[in-house]
C-alpha cells in the first residue's frame, strides 16, 4: 500500500516538474517573441529585403509572444499579468474604442481601427508578461537599441545620397520611417536605452558599440530635422542624465555637453534654420494648415462630445464637419489626445490621458529603486520624449507607444516587488 502511495506521489511530482519545465520553456519563447517583435519593428526587413514585401513580421512575432504567454498560463498555472488596477484605464479605453463601432461615421474605417486596437492590446499584454526579470528588461533594451541602427543608418545614408529628401533637406528611410517625424520620435523612444547600455556595460567593446549606436541615433534625429523630435530629444536626455540612480550630476553634465557639442559641430545649417521656426509658430504653414483640423475637431466635439466619430474615423468625417475654407485637404489633429477626443469623445480621451500621465508619474519615483532604478530612468526618458512627440504629431494607434507602455509597467512591477521585499525584510 505504501509502495503504491509513494509511486503515485512520485508520478505527481514528476508531472508537476514536467509542467514547470514546460512553463519555463513557454516563458522563454514569449520573451524571444517580444525581442523579435521589437527587432523587426525597427529593422523593417519587409521593406528592404527583396521578396519579403508585405510580410507582417511584427504581427507574426507578436502572435508568437501572445500564444506563448497563453501556453505558459495553461501549463504552469501562472496567471497572465495585465498591469494591475491602473491598467484598467487602458483596457477601458480599448473597450470604448470597440464600442465606438456602434456609432461610427465610417464603419469600415472604424472596424479596421478596432482590429488595430486589439492588436496593440495583445502586444501590450504579451510584452508585459515576457519581461519578468531585470535581465529580461536589459536584454529588451539592448535588442531595441541595436535594431534601431537600421533606420538610423538608413536615414544617414539617405541624407548622404540626397535621395528624395523631404522638403529638400530632411532625411527619411522606408516604411513607417519614410515620415521624418515618425523616424525621429521612434529613435527618441530608444535612445535612452542605448545610453543606458553604453553607461552600464562593463566591457569596453560593448561600451563602444552602444556609444556608436547613440551617435547614429542622434545623427538621424538631427538629419530628420523634426522640431518636435529635437525638443523631445532634449527632454529625454535631461531626464536620463539628471534623474535617478546610476549617473552622477557631474557625469551627466559631461555626457550631455559632449552630445550637445557634437550636434553643434556636425548639424547642417538647415537643422538650425528649421528649428528656429519653433518660435514663429503663428506664421508656420504647417500650423496654419492644422487649424482646419482643429476646426473639424471643434465641430465633432460640439455634436458628439461623448462618443466622437469612432476610432480611426477622424479623416473619414472630414467632409461632414470641415468648414468650406478647408477645402478637400484632409488632416489629422496632430495631437494624440485631440485625435482621441474627436474619435472617442470625452470618455475615451480621459481614459487614455489618465493612463499615460499616471504611468509617467509612477515612473518618476521608480528611478530610485535599487533593483530596476536605472532601467526605470531609461524608460521614463524614452516614454516622456515619445509622448511629447505625440502631442505634436498624434499617432494613437502606435506599436511604439504600446511596447513602451508594456515596458514601463513591467519595470514598475519589479520596482514594487523590490519595495515589498524590503518592507517584509524590515518587519521580520
What confidence category does residue 330 fall into, taking pLDDT thresholds of 50, 70 and 90? Answer: confident
- CB count, 10 Å around CB of 204? 8
What confidence category does residue 158 fall into, taking pLDDT thresholds of 50, 70 and 90? Answer: very high
Q: Average the pLDDT over each of 83-97, 202-216, 249-263 and give the range with the smallest value.
A: 249-263
Q: Does residue 13 have a pLDDT over 60?
A: no
Q: What 3-state DSSP class applies to 170?
A: strand
Q: Which of 110, 120, 70, 131 is nearest to 397 (CA)?
A: 120
pLDDT of residue 269: 83
Q: Which residue has the higher pLDDT, 200 or 23?
A: 200
Percent of the chain at pLDDT > 90 equals 60
What confidence category does residue 1 fall into, taking pLDDT thresholds of 50, 70 and 90? Answer: very low
What confidence category does residue 26 fall into, taking pLDDT thresholds of 50, 70 and 90? Answer: confident
Residue 314, Cβ density class (10 Å: 0-12 exposed, 13-18 middle, ≥19 buried): buried
| CA distance linking residue 81 with residue 244, whole number of Å | 27
Average pLDDT of the residues in 143-147: 97
- Please state, rounded to an integer, the average pLDDT across all residues of the chain: 87
pLDDT in tens, 377-421: 999 999 999 999 999 888 899 999 999 999 999 999 999 876 665
Q: Which residue has the higher pLDDT, 320 or 262?
A: 320
pLDDT in tens, 235-283: 999 999 887 666 767 777 788 888 888 787 777 887 877 777 665 545 4
Average pLDDT of the residues in 280-299: 69
pLDDT of residue 278: 64
Q: Which residue has the higher pLDDT, 10 or 305?
A: 305
pLDDT of residue 63: 92
Q: What 3-state DSSP class applies to 166?
A: strand
Q: Does residue 425 have a pLDDT over 70?
A: no
Q: Which of 405, 425, 422, 426 is nearest to 369 (CA)?
A: 422
What confidence category does residue 46 fall into, taking pLDDT thresholds of 50, 70 and 90? Answer: confident
Q: Does residue 150 have a pLDDT over 50?
A: yes
pLDDT of residue 54: 75
Amino acid at each position: 500500500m505504501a509502495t503504491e502511495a509513494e509511486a503515485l506521489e512520485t508520478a505527481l511530482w514528476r508531472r508537476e516538474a514536467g509542467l514547470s519545465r514546460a512553463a519555463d520553456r513557454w516563458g522563454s519563447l514569449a520573451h524571444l517573441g517580444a525581442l523579435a517583435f521589437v527587432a523587426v519593428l525597427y529593422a523593417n526587413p519587409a521593406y528592404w529585403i527583396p521578396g519579403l514585401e508585405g510580410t507582417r513580421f511584427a504581427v507574426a512575432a507578436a502572435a508568437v509572444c501572445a500564444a506563448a504567454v497563453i501556453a505558459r498560463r495553461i501549463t504552469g498555472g501562472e496567471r497572465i499579468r495585465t498591469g494591475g488596477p491602473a491598467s484598467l484605464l487602458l483596457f477601458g479605453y480599448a473597450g470604448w474604442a470597440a464600442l465606438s463601432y456602434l456609432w461610427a461615421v465610417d464603419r469600415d474605417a472604424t472596424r479596421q481601427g478596432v482590429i488595430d486596437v486589439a492588436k496593440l492590446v495583445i502586444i501590450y499584454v504579451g510584452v508585459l508578461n515576457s519581461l519578468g526579470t531585470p535581465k529580461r528588461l536589459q536584454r529588451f533594451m539592448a535588442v531595441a537599441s541595436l535594431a534601431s541602427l537600421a533606420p538610423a543608418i538608413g536615414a544617414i545614408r539617405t541624407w548622404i545620397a540626397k535621395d528624395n529628401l523631404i522638403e529638400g533637406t530632411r532625411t527619411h528611410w522606408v516604411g513607417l520611417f519614410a515620415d521624418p517625424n515618425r523616424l525621429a520620435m521612434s529613435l527618441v523612444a530608444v535612445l535612452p536605452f542605448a545610453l543606458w547600455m553604453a553607461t552600464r556595460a562593463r566591457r569596453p567593446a560593448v561600451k563602444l558599440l552602444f556609444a556608436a549606436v547613440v551617435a547614429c541615433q542622434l545623427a538621424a534625429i538631427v538629419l530628420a530635422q523634426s522640431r518636435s523630435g529635437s525638443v523631445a530629444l532634449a527632454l529625454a536626455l535631461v531626464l536620463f542624465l539628471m534623474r535617478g540612480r546610476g549617473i552622477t550630476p557631474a557625469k551627466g553634465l559631461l555626457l550631455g555637453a559632449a552630445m550637445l557639442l557634437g550636434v553643434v559641430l556636425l548639424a547642417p545649417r538647415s537643422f538650425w534654420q528649421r528649428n528656429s521656426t519653433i518660435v514663429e509658430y503663428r506664421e508656420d504653414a504647417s500650423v496654419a494648415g492644422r487649424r482646419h483640423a482643429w476646426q473639424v475637431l471643434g465641430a465633432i466635439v460640439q455634436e458628439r462630445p461623448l462618443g466622437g466619430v469612432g476610432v480611426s474615423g477622424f479623416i473619414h468625417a472630414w467632409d461632414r464637419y470641415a468648414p468650406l475654407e478647408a477645402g478637400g485637404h484632409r488632416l489629422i489633429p496632430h495631437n494624440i489626445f485631440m485625435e482621441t477626443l474627436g474619435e472617442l469623445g470625452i470618455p475615451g480621451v480621459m481614459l487614455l490621458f489618465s493612463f499615460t500621465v499616471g504611468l509617467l508619474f509612477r515612473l518618476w519615483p521608480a528611478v530610485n529603486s535599487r533593483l530596476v532604478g536605472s532601467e526605470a530612468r531609461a524608460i521614463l526618458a524614452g516614454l516622456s520624449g515619445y509622448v511629447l512627440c505625440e502631442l505634436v504629431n498624434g499617432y494613437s494607434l502606435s506599436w511604439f507607444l504600446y511596447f513602451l507602455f508594456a515596458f514601463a509597467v513591467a519595470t514598475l512591477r519589479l520596482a514594487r516587488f523590490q519595495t515589498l521585499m524590503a518592507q517584509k525584510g524590515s518587519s521580520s
